[in-house]
Amino acid sequence: MLKLRREPSKGALRLRPILEGSPPHPSGFRGRPGEVLDLAYDERWVGADGASTAPEWERVGAACIAAAGEAPRVALDARGLPAQFAVALGFGAVLRAWRFDRLKSQRPRQPRRLELLVDEPDLLEAAWARAEASLAGVLYARELVAEPANRLTPREFAKRLRRLRAEGIEVEVLGRSALKRLGAGGLLAVGAGSVVPPRIVILRWKGRFPAPPVAFIGKGICFDTGGISIKPAEGMETMRADMAGAAACAGAMLAMARRKSPCPAVAILAIAENATSASSYRPGDVLRMMSGRTVEVVDTDAEGRLVLADALHLGATRFRPQAMLDLATLTGSVVTALGHHRAGLFGNDAALSAAVAAAGEAVGERLWPLPIGGQHREDLKSDIADLRQCMPAGTRFTPDASHAAAFLREFVGGVPWVHLDIAGVETAEEDDSLAAKGSPTGFGVRLLDALVERHFEDPHRV
Amino acid sequence: MLDIVFAKPALPKSGALVLPIVEGAALAGLAGALDAEMNGGLTRALEAASFKGKKGQSVTLWAPAGGITKLVVLGLGSAADAEKLGGSMIPAISGETTCTVATDGLSAGQAASLAMGAALRFYRFDRYRTMEKAEDKPKLTKLTVASVDAAAAKAAFAPMKAVAEGVFIARDLVSEPANVLNPVEFAERCRELEKLGLGIEILGPKDMKKLGFGALLGVAQGSINEPRMVVMRWNGSGKKKADKPVCFIGKGVTFDTGGISIKPAGGMEDMKWDMAGAGTVTGLMAALAGRKAKVDAVGIIGLVENMPGDNAQRPGDVVTSASGQTIEVINTDAEGRLVLADVIHYAIEKFDPRFMVDLATLTGAIIIALGHEHSGLFTNDDELAARITAAGLATGEAAWRMPLGEAYDKQIKSDIADMKNVGGRPGGSITAAQFIQRFVQGRPWAHLDIAGVAWSSKDSATIPKGATAYGVRLLDRMVADHYEG
């Protein structure tokens, strides 16, 4: 990914972050964020004013890559920086340098080489190895999200996840017949319209602690047309990313495996394609979920909560986890609520929610708590079934993100649970972030990995 | 307002009687007395009805004994929320002329809360119902709250009553249709509050022009109804040199068509309550004055009508606010923030307030974010956040904090002016708050987006369907808890 070096290799373009207090350059370059000075053929300065936290240094690293253009060899100069900021600089650079170009017939033959210049490479080795584990998880998730839906079908998704066995992760795939036996009525209904049947993929990392696992539950809708309640054409192409929650869970498992986390973990990924076809499920259908509850379908485009409900139930009953966290690009409502800078945080356990929010803050994947109120649950009363899945389509100003969370809560048993609605943050909306505009962010991988490390790896709490 | 009196417990000679019973408790007090008068008939009736005192259970007996016309026994469950109890009993007794309610087991303070709940629920806005039959109108004229410590209950109720009056002022204002309540009429109604000891000052378009209110006047120019700004002052601290006042600011768009960026027809009638922020501030100031709160407070409301008239402002117009900052108007339906910008600037310059809280039915996005149980709370001050949240929980007017931040602020950058008035759909309520924050000069400030809570489509225990007056009780409580004395 990136080499630690004392000096730049021959022919490398050196990128030097410049802080406030450095002598002003005659060109007027002052070191402000966003500023770039083309100093010499092999050196550029990048504004890093005010960077004082790891997430800020990651952004500087990303800015360096953006400033490097197409240079094939890039050396980021972190000499003189404290170790954690040097790592952050490299981290941000790797994230920003990633691109998904395997489907372009004309692409650079050699991948870009990155170097991180530090005073003592040996001393940074361990910290960088830790960072690489996270990076591997994030980039893995991004690859999956970036894949178009004709390539990453539910079958292909499961196939790729099977390869995680090489990382020491157990992989179990539940196909249509297994799902039928389990009575996964939600997932089977959502996947019914596609020529590729749905699946649940279970990833297990054993860890070392003799404790119940932490469970990650991911929404993995490989493409979401909306089904019979079909979406408008505009922007529908982005629905290939509707499996970003599942990808993030898988990425987090990979990160934990790479760094040999002592904490046992399980990921349950509900994978399906929500297609329009002669066999699609319909608004008005009543489904019997894996938990036995009946659900009235109101809008086939609110499919994420149906597949998650079965996955949550499976997670709660089969693994009795110490905590369940689900990630899903679930609602447009959360985008209206929080925009592209924070994901929505819901849950049934204040301590767990606080730990999750703190982990997100630490890695720059920011969350904001949203309520599940009594009225939100009340709104899900159905005339025909135990509950309905959402408010009727076309109802004005509906707090659908909270409705979805209230719905999911019905399927978590008594397990401490957090739901992250990551619609709006799974794709970079601006160019000044850790991913190029329009490309997947891998949001959630680092958060889950950091949460486990900070909160679930203390042997004394087992 | 319902006539409420407090008296020592005694079985009434006439009218209705309400007996609240804690789950599993023996019949004591008035209930015991009545049971004795009925020779154990009440005990038998409750047994026959399987009444255990569970929350929500109720038993009704007609003419049980003496002159009592109707007896309602209400189950309280394990713990009584006296205020909710007072409110929820109203539908059962509003057909009676007089009613006595027992408060055995409740403290004097709880008895007062019960009375408050009853008063709040009994409210009704019926001045435009000319054909309603007499039997369809509520008949209740007097409620007697029977309390062993009637004097203490009465004393505890006095300030609550003033707050209830404030709530009713706000509900009346919000309920009025826009052809009746235009900015001029609204201001005149504020003038009537002088009788409570409030100082009222009304500014018209000429004054506002002098003050440079380009943002507010831009909104107003599409209507034939002139805008007004009303300043309501309450100097209750009793100090010779008044304290820095606490300051409340309300959005008062008496009707919001959306202007040239006109709204869809469906549901547009709701836009008569787009002045609910101003209504709440008015009710709050009346409440503070009515209960003689020991605080120096100022309430300022910006009153305009947003119409697509021949002189209406257009999308693309650039206006200069009182603060000197320029605003590109992208969407004329994001007008509330334009009004608030100038009013907030005026508040700072004129009053140097201790803090400011603004209330506004500002965005549909806040309903999509939170629904109808919480307002959206945006603030640059953690202490205000904590105090507002706590007061909200205590009064049943809940507020949910929402984020602010530089990343959101970028969404309102304009190519031609200092800012634009909308930042797109993502985080729509947040960018609205960011817009307002640009006018607060870094002072302690909170913004309550009350679009989802100003109006209720169904009855609740203490709030009949319609205008809720959300915020009057919350802010009154916050003042009482932290800023008096």
Report the phi/psi class of residue B298: left, alpha or beta, with left for phi > 0 and alpha for psi in -120 to 50.
Answer: beta
Q: CB contact, 8 Å: B374 with chain A? A: yes
Q: CB contact, 8 Å: B430 with chain A? A: yes
CB contacts, 8 Å: B400 with chain A: 370-371
Helices B183-191, B276-290: inter-axial angle, 10-degree rounding: 0
For residues B472 and B223, give the distance between their C-alpha atoms in angstroms, rounded to a whole number: 29
Name the closest residue on chain A to residue B405, using Cα atoms: A341
User: Which of A336, A375, A429 is closest, CB to CB, to B368?
Assistant: A336
Q: Answer yes or no: are the C-beta atoms of A370 and A344 closer than 8 Å.
A: yes
Two domains, one topology: B3-154 and B181-482: no
Percentage of residues in chain A with pLDDT exceeding 90? Answer: 87
Chain-centroid distance, C-alpha A59: 18
Could you state, in order of their start, the residue ranges of all structural domains in chain A? 3-119, 134-461
Q: What is the CATH number of domain A134-461?
A: 3.40.630.10
Q: CB contact, 8 Å: A391 with chain B? A: no
pLDDT average, residue stretch B125-131: 94
Q: What is the CATH number of domain A3-119?
A: 3.40.220.10
CB contacts, 8 Å: B364 with chain A: 396-397
> Which residue intervals of A239-384 are DSSP H helices?
244-258, 304-319, 333-338, 350-363, 374-378
Give whole-number Cα distances, A432 to A58, A99, A429, B60, in Å. Answer: 11, 15, 9, 68
pLDDT of residue B104: 86
Residue A22 has pLDDT above 70, yes or no: no
Predicted ipTM beyond 0.90: yes
Residue A122 has pLDDT above 90, yes or no: yes
User: Which of A341, A373, A397 is closest, CB to CB, to B367?
Assistant: A397
- Token readout for B180 is 């009746």
Q: Please, which pLDDT band fits residue A109 given cuts at 50, 70 and 90?
A: low
Q: Answer yes or no: are the C-beta atoms of B145 and B266 closer than 8 Å.
A: no
Catalytic residue of the set A44, A73, A219, A305 = A305
Could you state, in order of their start, the residue ranges of all structural domains in chain B? 3-154, 181-482
Q: What is the mean pLDDT of chain B?
A: 96
pLDDT of residue B24: 86
Burial of B255 (0-12, 13-18, 19+ CB in 10 A): buried
Name the closest residue on chain A to residue B452, using Cα atoms: A397
pLDDT by residue (tens digit) across A257-272?
A: 999 999 999 999 999 9
Query: Would the CB atoms of B371 and A402 count as touching at under 8 Å?
Result: yes
pLDDT of residue B123: 97
pLDDT average, residue stretch B409-434: 97
Burial of B385 (0-12, 13-18, 19+ CB in 10 A): middle
Query: Would the CB atoms of A339 and B402 count as touching at under 8 Å?
Result: no
The residues that bridge with A294 in the sheet, in sequence order, are A288
User: B3-154, what's its fold?
Assistant: Leucine Aminopeptidase, subunit E; domain 1 (3.40.220)
Architecture of the domain spanning B181-482: 3-Layer(aba) Sandwich (3.40)
pLDDT of residue A284: 96
pLDDT average, residue stretch A249-258: 98
pLDDT average, residue stretch B44-48: 95
Percentage of residues in chain A with pLDDT exceeding 70? Answer: 98
pLDDT of residue A251: 98
Look at A432 and B43; give whichever has higher pLDDT: B43
pLDDT of residue B243: 80
Q: CB contact, 8 Å: B373 with chain A? A: yes
Tell me which H or E stretch contains A55. helix A54-67
For residues B360 and A377, give the distance between their C-alpha atoms in angstroms, rounded to a whole number: 27
Report the phi/psi class of residue B77: left, alpha or beta, with left for phi > 0 and alpha for psi in -120 to 50.
Answer: left
Q: What is the mean pLDDT of chain A?
A: 95
Note if A305 is an active site residue: yes
Q: Answer yes or no: are the C-beta atoms of B17 and B99 closer than 8 Å.
A: yes
Note if A437 is an active site residue: no
Mean pLDDT is lowest, of A281-290, A452-461, B411-420, for A452-461
pLDDT by residue (tens digit) across A429-438?
A: 887 689 999 9
Residue A461 has pLDDT above 70, yes or no: no
pLDDT of residue A21: 64
pLDDT average, residue stretch A58-67: 94
Query: Would the CB atoms of B368 and A338 count as touching at under 8 Å?
Result: no
Give whole-number Cα distances, A430 to A64, A139, A245, in Å. Answer: 16, 19, 20
Q: Please, which pLDDT band fits residue A112 given cuts at 50, 70 and 90?
A: confident
**Which residues, 6+ apart, have CB-to-CB distance to A166 below 8 Å?**
none
Looking at this protein, which amino acid is placed at residue A176? Answer: R
CB burial string A429-462: b at 16+ within 10 A, e below: beeebbbbeebbbbbbbbbbbbbbbebbbeeeee
pLDDT of residue A382: 97
Q: Minimal CA–CA distance to B430: which of A108, A339, A58?
A: A339
Q: Answer yes or no: are the C-beta atoms of A190 and A272 closer than 8 Å.
A: yes
